[in-house]
Amino acid sequence: MPQYTIIGADAAGLSAAVQIKRTHPGASIRILNKGADISYGACGIPFVIGGNIEEIESLIHFTPDSFEKKRGMTVDVEKEVIELSPSSKELSIKDLRSGAVEKESFTNLLIATGAEPKRLPFLDYESEGVFCVHTIPDLRGIITYIERKRSQRAAVIGAGFIGLELCEALTRRGMQVTVLEALDSPIAAWPKTAKTAVMNEMTKRSVQFFLRTFVSDVQKTQQIFRLQTDERTLEADVIFSVVGTIPAVSFCGSQFDKLPNGALLVDTQGRTSVPDIYAAGDCVGVKHLLTGKPVYMPLGSTANKMGRIAGMNMAGKNVTFPGIVGTQIFKFFDLSLAKTGFSREEAEQEGWDAAAVSVTTPDRAGYYPGASPVRMEITFEKDSHRLLGALVVCRENAARFIDPAAVALTGRMTLEDLAWLDAAYTPPFAPVWNALMRAAFKGLNP
Amino acid sequence: MPQYTIIGADAAGLSAAVQIKRTHPGASIRILNKGADISYGACGIPFVIGGNIEEIESLIHFTPDSFEKKRGMTVDVEKEVIELSPSSKELSIKDLRSGAVEKESFTNLLIATGAEPKRLPFLDYESEGVFCVHTIPDLRGIITYIERKRSQRAAVIGAGFIGLELCEALTRRGMQVTVLEALDSPIAAWPKTAKTAVMNEMTKRSVQFFLRTFVSDVQKTQQIFRLQTDERTLEADVIFSVVGTIPAVSFCGSQFDKLPNGALLVDTQGRTSVPDIYAAGDCVGVKHLLTGKPVYMPLGSTANKMGRIAGMNMAGKNVTFPGIVGTQIFKFFDLSLAKTGFSREEAEQEGWDAAAVSVTTPDRAGYYPGASPVRMEITFEKDSHRLLGALVVCRENAARFIDPAAVALTGRMTLEDLAWLDAAYTPPFAPVWNALMRAAFKGLNP
């Protein structure tokens, strides 16, 4: 009977477990998880803070109990793998309740330990009122703290899209939010149009933001934090640190091929460079479909897919991940922003002779009530007209406009395919020439 | 200086004119139009009747005056072409105000006369209170009539999607609507899931509907119509006839290659079978990208595209229309329905060994407030897994889900491409596995 060990019981790990079980109902599947909570929608955390979602429990798809009942597999929680020996095929597992460490051998292993928040040297993360925004315990701590202390002033360090979602959430709670960002803009990896839209929205919503701002020191007196930057001292009742994540693979040692940030390299079937060891989720680098090169872009959606694929292949199937195209989306107050593929600058860095065009066009028939403008920028290869990327800034739901572009990238399609696309048209839902078509046409007829 | 004549000043004709003018600013462009109104969004008519759009004028993109001002071209309105002689390159043009007929020669011609409503033999279309729903004068007549007469009971003959849009519009106005359909379901060309959803919605909205119902006679006494069917007599204050359209090409004679319904056949650049004569819009058959065969599917979106393409090619460019994939969408009360490509039955009729699967899945993270179910059915070729079609029934905006499928059809993509799609994911806007991905995965893993 095949034997499997899975480290990590979230999106990637449990997706794999379910696929293995589906193929081999009698398999022995051992699932270890460092935390007490498993299988939760971490992407929903800001929306609980903001009150869009009422119950923390809504984010939890499965408890260990309900997973066992529904899927017939046990998850051993609060078990941290602290060492992995590929040669002896052994794990050192620490019981976080008792502190005891035991060794255990494995046959087929999946590493699905995810990522952990980057930490800033000047912040004491043990201090009450300093939070990361990554786990269910983080979320419980945040809600309890800001409710009990009636926190009014929040400092959010980091203006990536999680930082921005958090910023909206805290504003919705009536808090005064100050965003501090070391780089010279929010969402640094996004094109300028998106950055400008975000900054205007912050201003409109009375969110303070300081760019190119480094915190040198944080002092806390009487529950008030004082953040010292080059130019000023800022007071805050609560501090959130949202400055990105790093792969949680410190136990893996040096025998794995990795990306510079430590993410494990896997092939398109989820195999690491070490035999019988697969990896999936926020601890791995995945193939970018447009370049063929591995990139680190940790997202719940990709973790789910790679987990499913790793599980299917571990179970003996032969399934290949085509690669990501770099699709991202987030909501920021009344804005919806999404991108996929590359901006012109990124495409040029990757060696393409690229051009970009942009259009602004209504999201439905211009005469239909509620029509609102959609800004779309597309990048394409000059000679072949192959689409290389798209950016959308709109109000309703940018997925509506970015998903067709993501499909087109996956299909290696050209502007000719898109300019004349037989897209949905009806006045309440879509215009004759939607943003993607119009941008493609403009690219072809400058 | 190149000379062009265009018959018809709506989506196709004016799109062509604009493209010709763009390439040859000095060209002589003669534009004739049978009606007094040009360039209007006919697809918006039901939404004016329903009061979603307040002003009839909102639908009019250009009047002849504003078009002349903006585009520098004159439209000669109320001029009907009653005969076309390809050999002598002459048109007989009737002035609808004076009744005079004059001959006029042309060099390069575009036929963009659109379609006209099919007429039912038992209806007197000259009778006050009997309406087609096709033109701005129709719309003006309808609004005036039902407001002046305070019409309460409407009979809508025909349950295609225009009939259904009208049904919603009249219901919104507080009228009691009865829909009569000769076939055994509404939207006969749609899959069963869509038909069932529509019928349930009609019931929920207290719309009466009679299927397999033929009207044999209509009498009018004291402004009340009595419609006689096999089984009953129905009373109505106003009657709408929405039973499809036929190409408006009676003036064309027999020298053109045509589809059985009379639609002019054109190549992918808009050329008819007669030299120097192009055609575009609701009077032509267009290539279906999946079969390569011409089909008659008159839609404003396709008319715009084919007009633009014909104009560009008439002006000397070399632009090819890839073909339609049969995308349609409409709103019906709280439902949004869309399809693209083929159902399994249609695909089999076209010679594919096809299979179909369906899923129902939330439109955003299931835990996010407002999440509502999306029903998606997809058709694919069994061996190659090539996508052949999709159907969506949902509440919010089916374009969001059908457009990616339309792109995938255009790119001849497979279920493997779609199951692992790097689609947008964020709790407020999209789930980890969206409906298309989930359907593709189910197709691959039945």
In tens, the pLDDT along B387-427 reads 999 999 999 999 999 999 999 999 999 999 999 999 999 99
Question: For chain A, which ranges sit under pLDDT 70?
Answer: none
Chain A residue with minimum CA distance to B336: A429
Check residue B446 and give its pLDDT.
85
Q: In the prediction, which pLDDT does B43 show? A: 94
Cβ contact A432–B330 (<8 Å) = no
- Flag if B53 and A397 touch (Cβ within 8 Å): no
Residues of A in contact with B300 (CB under 8 A): 425, 432
Q: How many angstroms separate the CA atoms of B17 and B256, rounded?
A: 22
Q: Do B410 and A421 count as a contact with CB atoms less than 8 A apart?
A: yes
Report d(CA B133, CA B142) in Å as an integer: 8
Q: Which of B323, B367, B421 sits opposite A41 (nearest CB)?
A: B367
Residue A62, chain B, CB below 8 Å: the answer is: no
pLDDT in tens, A125-142: 999 999 999 999 999 999
Task: Give the ipTM.
Answer: 0.97
- pLDDT category, B60, cuts 50, 70, 90? very high
Task: Report pLDDT for B310.
Answer: 98
**Helix pair angle (B64-71, B11-23), 10° resolution:** 20
Look at residue B63 in the predicted model and tell me its pLDDT.
Answer: 96
Question: Whole-angstrom Cα distance, residue B96 to residue B111?
Answer: 19
Q: How far apart are CA A302 and CA A321, in angstroms?
A: 10
Q: Compute the nearest-CA separation of B231 from chain A (Å).
A: 36
pTM of the predicted protein model = 0.97
CB atoms within 10 A of CB A23: 14
**Closest by Cβ to A330, choosing from B300, B400, B426:** B426
Cβ neighbours of B267 (radius 10 Å)? 14
Identity of the residue in B47, B299, B423 whose CB atom sits nearest the CB atom of A428? B47
The strand ranges marked E within A207-319 are 208-210, 215-221, 224-229, 233-236, 238-241, 245-247, 264-265, 277-279, 284-287, 294-295
pLDDT at B378 (0 to 100): 98
Predicted pLDDT of residue B1: 73
Give the number of C-alpha atoms closer than 13 A to the C-alpha of residue A425, restricted to the C-beta side.
27
Reported as a single tens digit per residue, the pLDDT across B288-306 is: 999 999 999 999 999 999 9
Query: Is B368 part of the contact surface with chain A (CB cutoff 8 Å)?
Result: yes
Give the closest-approach CA distance of B106 to chain A in angstroms. 28
Q: Is B422 on the interface with A (CB under 8 A)?
A: yes
- Asked whether residue B256 carries a pLDDT value surpassing 80, the answer given is yes
Which pLDDT score is estimated for B2?
81
* 8 Å CB contact of A324 and B422: yes
Does A133 contact B at CB distance below 8 Å? no
Mean pLDDT (chain B, rounded):
97
Residues 320-359 of A with CB under 8 A from B: 320-331, 336, 338, 340
